């Protein structure tokens, strides 16, 4: 059963929990979740797919759970997505209606609206849908065109949660805390669905502020690097997390100074992990294993990875040689919705997913993600240089708040390494700072001080805007 903790028989037998979910000022017991979500399931039974406005609310939790109980696939739609992108998601997915909250502009895009009634209850028993049935269609961020719908099965979701539970020793005794969006893998699949499968308490803080994290008194915390940077910036809040069991960072590389700050203030070396919407989470450091700053760990149980060079052959696992990262995993997506061409391009003949990321792997199997091949692999003067390595060094300078390193066309070098920095350090000081810590060919040839870095709706830096 995908949502194992919502087994009605177990709840009826006394396995209830008065505060199984706390979100947006509402607490839901396990019996509340079962009864209200089953009521939702009755209202949407027979639909082929529905859209859910994925705001962090009790309504969203019940809408998602109701869909999974009924076996109706859903599309989580960001509340702040633009009208054109939202219309594309609805049209491309074939959504038959809005379930739960309505869009802020109250434009239903011609679809019927099915409200979620938090206090409604039903105790109808639904059979568990087949494992290969679609759980959801999650749209990518669309950095290279209109977002593509990633089809995720119930089997893939369950396999990923179970693999992470083993790696992190995540159990029903945990209280999981995060303030992340409920329309991406990190917040929705890992945070919410993980909690509903494993049976731990789930606390959504709303805005993920250091104070909110400190007040939540959790044992397991999820955050993106921006969240952890803010936590380290407020030492009292950070120290309050010392009673936690595990701090998890993902969705982007955690700067080494932030990693070190968490160790110093909380006593915890954070766990880092790596994945994609298409593959879910495939690599992670482990509760009982090494946690090395700048490295994302080992493949999860059942996952295979490899590095491929420009000639198509595998590159050595020496901790230095960069290659294209490919993964084969039981958590793999079922393809891009309505895009067989894109699906075929993403997969190798032997079933590996071409992540589009470049990485290094050491002799022990530890992975370090260099970044996206299209923007983070710089070919300068005959060398292959990872932008992430330079960014990590620059973030260690007290005069650097944010940085993005790119390769720009150069008649002599092929590509010239340029660093865009938010901060108050002198450009030449930063160039020399990198040259002192890395090989000479990895130093930026130019540092540009800027007020801000361009970011997409997910908060990720859009490097292509810096490369022109």
SS3 of the chain: the string is: CCCHHHCHHHHHCCCCCCCCEEECCEEECHHHHHHHHHHHHHHHCCCCCEEEECCCCHHHHHHHHHHHHHCCCEEEECCCCCHHHHHHHHHHHCCCCEECCCCCCCCCCCCCEECCCCCCCCCCCCCCCCCCCEEEEEECCCCCCCCCEEEEEHHHHHHHHHHHHHHHCCCCCCEEEECCCCCCHHHHHHHHHHHHHHCCEEEECCCCCHHHHHHHCCCEEEECHHHHHHHHCCHHHHHHHHHCCEEEECCCCCCHHHHHHHHHHHCCCCEEEEEECCCEEEEECCCCCCCCCCCCEEECCCCEEEEECCCCCECCCCCCCCEEEEEECCCCCCCECCCHHHHHHHECCCCCEEEEEEEEECCCCCEEEEEEHHHHEEEECCEEEEHHHHHHHHHCCCCEEEEEEEEEEECCCEEEEEEEEEECCCHHHHHHHHHHHCCHHHCCCEEEECCCCCECCCCCECHHHCCC
pLDDT tens, the chain, 468 aa long: 888 888 877 676 667 788 999 999 999 999 999 999 999 999 998 899 999 999 999 999 999 999 999 999 999 999 888 888 889 999 999 999 999 998 877 777 789 999 999 999 999 999 999 999 999 999 986 555 678 999 999 999 999 999 999 999 999 999 999 999 999 999 999 999 999 999 999 999 999 999 999 999 999 999 998 899 899 999 999 999 999 999 999 988 888 889 999 999 999 999 999 999 999 999 999 999 999 998 999 999 999 999 999 888 999 999 989 999 999 999 999 999 999 999 999 999 999 999 999 999 999 999 999 888 877 788 887 777 888 878 888 988 989 988 999 989 888 888 899 999 999 999 999 999 998 888 888 899 999 999 999 886 556 788 888 876
Which pLDDT score is estimated for 383? 77
Which pLDDT score is estimated for 14? 65
Look at residues 286, 260, 258 and name the one whose alpha carbon lies nearest to residue 271.
286
Rounded to whole angstroms, the Cα distance separating 12 from 61 reads 21
Which pLDDT score is estimated for 13? 64
| Buried-exposed string 26-48: b where 16+ CB fall within 10 A, e elsewhere | eebebbbbbbbbbbbbebbeebe
Which pLDDT score is estimated for 257? 86
Provide the 3-class DSSP secondary structure of residue 386.
strand
Domains of the chain: 381-465 (3.30.300.30)
Which pLDDT score is estimated for 458? 54
Which pLDDT score is estimated for 44? 94
Residues contacting 94, CB < 8 A, separation 6+: 48, 49
Angle between helices 427-437 and 387-395 in degrees, nearest 10? 110
């Amino acid at each position: 059963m995908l949502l194992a903790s919502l087994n009605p028989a177990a709840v009826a037998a006394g396995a209830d929990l008065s505060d199984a979910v706390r979100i947006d000022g509402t607490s839901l017991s396990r019996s509340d979740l079962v009864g209200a979500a089953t009521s939702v399931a009755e209202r949407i039974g027979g639909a082929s797919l529905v859209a859910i406005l994925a705001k962090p609310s009790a309504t969203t939790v019940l809408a998602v759970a109701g869909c999974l109980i009924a076996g109706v696939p859903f599309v989580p739609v960001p509340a702040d997505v633009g009208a054109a992108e939202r219309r594309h998601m609805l049209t491309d997915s074939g959504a038959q209606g809005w379930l739960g909250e309505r869009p802020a502009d109250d434009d239903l895009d011609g679809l019927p609206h099915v409200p979620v009634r938090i206090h409604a209850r039903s105790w109808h028993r639904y059979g568990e849908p087949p494992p290969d049935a679609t759980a959801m269609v999650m749209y990518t961020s669309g950095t290279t065109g209109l977002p593509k719908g990633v089809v995720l099965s119930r089997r893939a979701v369950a396999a990923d949660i179970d693999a992470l539970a083993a790696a992190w020793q995540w159990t029903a005794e945990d209280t999981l805390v995060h303030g992340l969006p409920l329309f991406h893998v990190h917040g929705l699949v890992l945070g919410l669905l993980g909690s509903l499968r494993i049976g731990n308490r789930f606390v959504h803080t709303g805005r993920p502020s250091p104070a909110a994290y400190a007040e939540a008194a959790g044992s397991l915390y999820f955050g993106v690097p921006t969240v952890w940077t803010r936590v380290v910036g407020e030492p009292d809040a950070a120290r309050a997390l010392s009673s936690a069991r595990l701090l998890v960072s993902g969705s982007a590389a955690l700067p080494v100074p932030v990693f070190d700050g968490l160790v110093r203030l909380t006593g915890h070396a954070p766990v880092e992990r790596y994945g994609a919407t298409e593959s879910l989470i495939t690599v992670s450091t482990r509760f009982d294993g090494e946690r090395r700053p700048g490295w994302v760990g080992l493949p999860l149980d059942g996952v295979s990875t490899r590095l491929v060079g420009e000639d198509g052959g595998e590159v050595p696992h020496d901790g230095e040689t960069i290659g294209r990262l490919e993964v084969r995993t039981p958590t793999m997506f079922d393809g891009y919705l309505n895009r067989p061409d894109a699906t075929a391009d993403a997969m190798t003949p032997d079933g590996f997913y071409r992540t589009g990321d470049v990485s290094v792997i050491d002799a022990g199997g530890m992975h370090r993600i260099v970044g996206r091949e299209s923007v983070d692999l710089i070919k300068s003067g005959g060398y292959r240089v990872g932008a992430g390595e330079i960014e990590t060094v620059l973030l260690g300078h007290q005069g650097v708040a944010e940085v993005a390193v790119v390769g720009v066309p150069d008649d002599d070098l092929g590509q010239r390494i340029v660093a865009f920095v938010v901060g108050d350090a002198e450009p030449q000081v930063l160039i020399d700072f990198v040259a002192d810590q890395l090989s000479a060919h990895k130093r930026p040839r130019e540092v540009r001080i800027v007020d801000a870095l361009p970011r997409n709706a997910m908060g990720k830096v859009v490097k292509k805007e810096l490369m022109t």
